[in-house]
Structure 1
Amino acid sequence: MNADLHCPLCAASGAGVFHRDRRREYLRCSHCALVFVPPAYHLSAAAEKAEYDLHRNAVDDPGYRRFLGRLAEPLMQRVPAPARGMDFGCGPGPALAAMLAEAGYQLMLYDPFYHPDPAALRQHYRFITATEVVEHLQRPGAELQRLWGLLEPGGLLGIMTKLVRDQAAFANWHYKNDATHVCFFSEQTWQWWARQHGAGLERIGADVILLRKPASCVVDG
């Protein structure tokens, strides 16, 4: 057991080893079921950005747009235009934001490396998207709490990330091999998070999670 390490999502201690490979150790929180990589294995900010600079996700790439459509389409069905939203962790080529803007939505961008606009984190939104982002967060509890606070009552947080199934599948899972991926959510983890926040939870397909903020919530700030 790793009693001295606290879960980066729920802050509980006592996570147990879930998997080890030649490069890293992966712990699983006994409270919220998050699987996470201890900080000793995290990349520096410079090394992390160098990895992201290798990505080639063009705004006009039809295949990439189809991929993002797995989140965009259910989001648009549930939140009508011209609602205002933020694409969090949009990267250097904010294709999802472009797709939603083309459909009549109002978009702000935020990315700590490519669009570090502090003004975007001081506003409130009807929806926030985070596609292939949460697995990179070294402090997922704090970051998700911040995003939740930026949502209007009844707002929607749309997340795309691959989900942990079990130890056997994890051992052969390509998703864990990306050095910038440091936390891995399961459906159980999202159920825990939704309960903590009184959120409506909807899973769509293999990797899309929609979290609805209660309509009676008081907006932070």
Structure 2
Amino acid sequence: MEQSSPCPLCAHEHSEAYASDRRRDYLQCQRCDLVWVPARFHLSEEAERAEYDLHQNRVDDPSYRRFLSRLAQPLVRQLPDACQGLDFGCGPGPALAAMLSEAGHNMALYDLFYADDRSVLNREFDFITATEVVEHLSQPGEVLSGLWRQLRPGGCLGVMTKLVRSREAFEGWHYKNDPTHISFFSRSSWQWWAGEYGAELQFHGDDAMLLLKAQV
């Protein structure tokens, strides 16, 4: 098992072996607690896209909308009227963007594979969503830092991802078995990140987080 590698969230040099299965090894950062898959186990872009193409997430699917409402509902309660938002990693069926548009907000889309309009990554927004995205990132620290810079003062970053709870639970966790999932956050990972960026952190349920940027 690979023993150490710089953390892709906080760049800390000290990591330890966390788990191993028949497919991959997993390391854990000793500063921010991120668990991640070493780069040698990552899929190629072609193989990653092929996995995503298997997903059947339709904009009008009621069950998919119920799933996304775990983030959408607390986010909408947080936002003033008619905000400018970005759905980062929207996928082929941007249901969350549709839901937020229906709530009166103006939405832009970005997805590396399905909506690769990089001009939106140079704009500022009142809020940004990343639902079931951060677990796919090979460099989550770099991506989250970039999204945070795009938020206007008083803005909100909304994230959905399943959280690591313990080493014992991780070993039998279905979420780690998806070959496109390579970065696994815990509550303490988000608490570390919020502290570094001066964000107010809210947990909503088991897998939704709001990170609020201070008014300046």
TM > 0.5: yes
2:146 is matched with which residue? Answer: 146
The normalised TM-score by structure 2 is 0.98
The normalised TM-score by structure 1 is 0.96
Work out the CA distance in 2 between the residues paired with 1:88 and 1:65: 17
Gap regions ≥5 residues in structure 1: 217-221
Work out the CA distance in 2 between the residues paired with 1:81 and 1:104: 7
Does structure 2 retain, via aligned residues, the 8 Å contact 1:128–1:151? yes
2:175 is matched with which residue? Answer: 175
Does structure 2 retain, via aligned residues, the 8 Å contact 1:2–1:14? no
2:117 is matched with which residue? Answer: 117
What letter matches 1:42 in structure 2? Answer: H
1:43-97 CA distance string (max 9 Å, x none)? 0011000000000000000000000011011100000221000000000000000
Does structure 2 retain, via aligned residues, the 8 Å contact 1:87–1:108? yes
Residue aligned with 1:157, SS: strand
Gap regions ≥5 residues in structure 2: none
1:134-168 CA distance string (max 9 Å, x none)? 00001101000000000000100000000000000
Work out the CA distance in 2 between the residues paired with 1:171 and 1:213: 35
Do structure 1's residue 27 and structure 2's residue 20 form an aligned pair?
Answer: no
2:3 is matched with which residue? Answer: 2
Q: Which runs of 4+ in 1 moved over 3 A?
A: none
1:11-66 CA distance string (max 9 Å, x none)? 11121011000000000000110000000000001100000000000000000000
Does structure 2 retain, via aligned residues, the 8 Å contact 1:123–1:150? yes
1:68 is matched with which residue? Answer: 68
Residue aligned with 2:49, SS: helix
Report deviation, 1:182.
Answer: 0.2
What letter matches 1:2 in structure 2? Answer: Q
Report deviation, 1:119.
Answer: 1.3
1:219 is matched with which residue? Answer: none
1:209 is matched with which residue? Answer: 209
Alignment of 1:28-177 (within 5 A): 28-177=28-177
Residue aligned with 2:92, SS: coil
Residue aligned with 2:14, SS: strand
Residue aligned with 2:40, SS: helix
Question: Over the residues paired in the alignment, what is the CA RMSD in angstroms?
Answer: 0.8
Work out the CA distance in 2 between the residues paired with 1:81 and 1:91: 25
Equivalent pairs counted in the alignment come to: 215
Work out the CA distance in 1 between the residues paired with 2:193 and 2:203: 13
